Amino acid sequence: RKFVQKGGLLLLIPAVYAWYEMIRTEKMKLNPGQLQFIGNSIPQGFSFHDKAIIHRNNENFRVFEPRCTHLGCIINQEIDGEMVCACHGSRFNLNGRPLNGPAVRQLKELEYNYDPVRDILIINL
């Protein structure tokens, strides 16, 4: 009988955890021009997404539009700590400034809000 009681309690743990995760990650109301990420799903350093490039340094973020300022290719790779456009090789530093062309204009930086309590990053596109 004790075994059954302990087993019942053990079954509660995943249910409580699932409930906690559901509450923690509950979707905030987003405007059409916003993206939402769970903070712990974002790796340190650069991560490339369809509509945003995120650079994470612990709880500090930089977010850029991934569209290259040369001819509009989507930037989706990092080489030696720089964002690199695969189309014609433009390289951008952590501030989005072009280090070598053909791009000459800076990447557009996107505004965001990070809620450390809920661990949610919301990006304004």
| Contact residues for ligand FES, defined by CB under 6 A | 68, 70-73, 85, 87-90, 102-103
Residue 6 or 88 having the CB closest to ligand FES: 88
Question: Least separation, in Å, of the C-beta of 100 and ligand FES?
Answer: 10
What is the smallest separation between the CB atom of 66 and ligand FES, expressed in angstroms?
10
| Of 24 and 105, CB closest to ligand FES | 105
CB of 56 to ligand FES, least distance (A): 23
* Cα 76 → chain centroid: 13
DSSP state of 40: G
Nearer to ligand FES, 47 or 76 (CB): 76
Q: Where are the alpha helices (DSSP H) in the chain?
A: 2-24
User: How are strands ordered across the β-sheet holding 120-124?
Assistant: 34-38, 120-124, 112-115
In whole angstroms, how far apart are CA 47 and each of 62, 69, 81?
11, 19, 11
